[in-house]
Amino acid sequence: MTDQLDRLDAPPGGEPNPAATTEIRKPWWRRLGIFPPALLSLVFFSYALPPYLGLDPSKARIANLRQDIWWHYPALVLHIACGTIAFTSVVLQLSPWIIRKHPKLHRVSGRVYIYAGVVPGGVLALLITPFAGGPVGDAMEGGLWLIFTFVALRAVRRRQFAKHRRFMIYSYALCAQIIWGRILIIGLLIFFPEVIQHSFGLVLETASWIGTFINLAIAQWWLERTAKKGYVLPRPEKPTRLTTAAGGPLPHV
């Protein structure tokens, strides 16, 4: 069944929402395009990646690196590599300009995001989750990341573009939730170091849940806000295989 949000942001049949045909003046922060998410990824990488670049297990920042399990460190490093691919390629996915002008780049970076980023990164996350500081939250995030991304992929294959957009936004929200754990831990280390000393496990578990909750709430807010403002899905300027399949108008739902 078509759900309400899909209809709100893109009515069936491919006809633009009349409320949306008026030119909407974007606020200044929306004109920044993919610059803010790109900056977010770069800041995260510059903080999180250096300890792993030398492949030295003694530099790993995780609370419980299992020396007795030979594959724990390699799996962690591979997870980080795939997470880096995901958190980089997803930035290109967020650009309506790329969808309109360079649909091929959108498709290729989307495949990189899914097959080189989310799928291996998410499966490896689930593999190392039992040894993690916050195992329940991490398993929930990893599972949702894989499921939402799969739903987004299936939707685009069925030409349900509004649903594809919605679930890719959820997928990005789950990818980017990783920043909150670091913000929480750095904040506590500065202002309440005793909490880290006494309840590190609880802090790590809380970090996963808080990050997921905040980001999914922001994603939902964004979807509802853009729907209310009469958001129209970006379309490639030249027809592509997906947009012209069956020859009819571009379906949205």
Q: Which two tokens stand for residue 204?
A: 């790590």
Using the 8-state DSSP alphabet, how is residue 229 labeled? T
Q: 34: closest CA among 104, 109, 128, 108?
A: 109
Among 89, 103, 110, 141, binds ligand HEM (CB under 6 A): 141
Q: How far is the CB of 73 from ligand HEM (least distance, A)?
A: 10
Binding mask 38-67 for ligand HEM (x = CB under 6 A): ----------x--x---------xxxx---
Gyration radius from the chain CA atoms? 20
Token pair for 213: 């909750």
Q: Considering only residues 172-191, where is the footprint of ligand HEM by CB under 6 A?
A: 174-175, 178
Cα distance between residue 186 and residue 83, in whole Å: 21
Contact 124, 78 (CB under 8 A): yes
The contact mask relative to ligand HEM for 105-124 (x = CB under 6 A, - = no) is: ----------------x---
Q: Does 92 bind ligand HEM (CB under 6 A)?
A: no
Residue placing its CB nearer to ligand HEM in the complex, 20 or 139 = 139
The span of 4-12, 129-137, 217-225, 245-253 binding ligand HEM (CB under 6 A) equals: 129-137
Backbone CA torsion sign across 29, 35, 41, 45 = negative
Determine the interface stretch with ligand HEM among 18-26, 104-112, 136-144, 188-196 (rule: CB under 6 A): 136-144
- Between 178 and 195, name the residue whose CB sits nearer to ligand HEM: 178
Q: Which of 86, 153, 219, 223 binds ligand HEM (CB under 6 A)?
A: 86
Can you tell me which of 83, 110, 120, 236 binds ligand HEM, judged by CB under 6 A? 83
3-state secondary structure 83-133: HHHHHHHHHHHCCHHHHHHCHHHHHHHHHHHHHHHHHHHHHHHHHHHHHCC
d(CA 72, CA 149) in angstroms, rounded, equals 25
* Chain residues in the site for ligand HEM (CB under 6 A): 48, 51, 61-64, 79-80, 83-84, 86-87, 121, 125, 128-129, 131-133, 138, 141-142, 145, 174-175, 178
